[in-house]
Amino acid sequence: MNSMLNDILLEAKNLKMYFPMTKGLLKRKVADVKAVDGVSFKIKRGETLGLVGESGCGKTTVGRCLLRLYNPTAGQIYFEGEDISKLPANKIRPLRRKMQLIFQDPYGSLDPRQSAGSIVGEPLLIHHLVKTNSYGDYRRRVSELFATVGLDPSMVGRYPHEFSGGQRQRIGIARALSCDPSFIICDEPISALDVSIQAQIINLLQELQEKLGLTYLFIAHDLSVVRHISNRVAVMYLGHIVEITNWRELYDNPLHPYTKALLSAVPIPDPVVESSRERIVLKGDVPSPINPPPGCNFHPRCPIAIPDCRQAIPPLRFISADHEVACIRV
C-alpha cells in the first residue's frame, strides 16, 4: 500500500460553503453563515486524513461538500483527477459508488422499518451491482458484507432496534462498503459509542483499510482517537484549516496556538506527566460564523496575538516539508 500513497485521490481547493440567512415572509437574505471559508487539502490514495476541531467549526460541512450532498458556494473538488464540484445531478449517481459516508449516529442513520439485510443490500439494487432476478447473488453478497464487518450473517433478518450501538455502526459500515468504494468519509463514527466499543470500531476500520485499500477522511473532535488511525491530521477552526501535518509531528511539535490548546486538553493516563504539563485555557467564546472577526479568526482568543493578526487572514504556508500552518507568529 505504500506505493499507493504517492497518488492523490482527492483534492479540495479554496472550498467555500456559505448558507444564506433570510428574514421575513419574502425570505430576504440578510447575511451568510460562512461554515467553510477557503479550505484546501489533499488526500493520498490509501491514507487517512484526520479532520479535527471544535463542534461547529465546519468539519461535517466539508465532508458533505466533498460528497456533493451540498453544492459548494465556491472552490474546486478533484476526485481521481476530475473536477466534481460542478457536476450536474444526473452525473453524480455513478460518483456515489466510489464515495461513501459512515454517519455519526448509529441509531438515527438506520431505517427502523427495514431489516438489517435490506439496509445493507439496498445500495446493491440501486447501483445494479447484483442481478435483479438473482436473489441468490443478492443474499450471498449481503452475507459476505455482514461477515466482513464482524456480524453473524444469520442476523440479516433482524431490525435495527434488536442490535447494540456497536453492532448498528457495523451495519452502517457494511452499507458503506456494499458499493465497493475507494473513498469513505467517517463522520465521527465512534463519538456515540461506549469507550470499550470505540476501540473495536477503530480496529475494524484499520483492518478494512489494509484489506481493501480504502482511503478515509476521519472527522472527529477527539485528538486521542485521531492519533491512532490517521496518517496526517488537519486542524480546523471556524471554517478554516489552521494546521496540517503528519500525526507524529502534530503531537511532538504543534505550532499553531489553537492546536496547542487542543492538545493540552487531551488527558494523559500518567499522573506525573499530567501534573507537570501546562494546561492552555482559551478565553472567550468561538466567534459567530455569521460575523467572523477581521483577519485571523482565532486572534480574539489567541494568547500570542498581535495587532497585525487583525489585518488579513493568514494563508497556510509550509514550515517544513510536510507541515503547513496558518499563523504569522510561527
pLDDT (tens digit per residue) in 74-92 = 999 999 999 999 888 888 8
Give the pLDDT score at 90: 82
Residue 326 CB neighbour total at 10 angstroms:
24
What torsion do the CA atoms of 1, 186, 241, 263 make, to the nearest 10 degrees? -90
Q: In 33-115, which ranges are continuous DSSP H helix?
A: 59-66, 93-98
Model confidence at 269: pLDDT above 80: no
Element (H, E) at 204: helix 195-212
Please tell me which residue, 187 or 271, carries the higher pLDDT value: 187
Q: Which tens digit of pLDDT belongs to each residue from 27-70?
A: 888 889 999 999 999 999 999 999 998 888 999 999 999 999 99
Q: Could you give the 3-state DSSP secondary structure of residue 321? A: coil
Q: Counting runs of H as helices and runs of E as strands, what totals does the chain give?
A: 10, 12
pLDDT band at 3 (very low <50, low <70, confident <90, very high): very low
- The set of cell numbers assigned to 182 is 475507494
Query: How are beta strands 74-79 and 82-83 bridged, if at all?
Result: antiparallel
Q: Which of 109-123, 132-146, 219-233 has the highest mean pLDDT?
A: 109-123
Residue with the bigger pLDDT between 328 and 268: it is 328
Residue ranges of domains in the chain, CATH in brackets = 2-318 (3.40.50.300)
Query: HSE on the CB side for 312, CA within 13 Å?
Result: 4
Percent of the chain residues past pLDDT 70, beyond the cut: 94
The pLDDT-based confidence of 171 (bands split at 50, 70, 90) is very high
Whether the predicted pLDDT of 295 surpasses 50: yes
Q: What are φ and ψ of residue 56, in 5° steps? A: 90, 5
Q: Which amino acid is at 68?
A: R
pLDDT of amino acid 1? 41
Mean of pLDDT over the chain: 89
d(CA 155, CA 149): 13
pLDDT tier at 2 (50, 70, 90 boundaries)?
A: very low
Q: With 90 as the cut, is the pLDDT of residue 134 above it?
A: no
- Selected residue with higher pLDDT from 2 and 121: 121
Please say whether the dihedral angle defined by the alpha carbons of residues 305, 307, 313 and 319, taken in this order, is positive or negative: negative
Does the pLDDT at position 270 exceed 70? no
* C-alpha dihedral, 276 to 277 to 280 to 281, nearest 10°: -40
The predicted pLDDT at position 238 comes to 93
The enclosing H or E element of 120 equals helix 116-126
Amino acid at 138: Y
Alpha carbon distance 45, 213 (integer Å) = 8
Roughly how many angstroms between the first and final C-alpha of the chain, as a whole number? Answer: 34
Span 249-277, average pLDDT: 78
Three-point CA angle 192, 197, 200, nearest 5°:
125
Give mean pLDDT, residues 175-188.
Answer: 95
pLDDT for 203 equals: 93
Torsion-angle region of residue 44: left (phi > 0), alpha (psi -120 to 50) or beta? beta
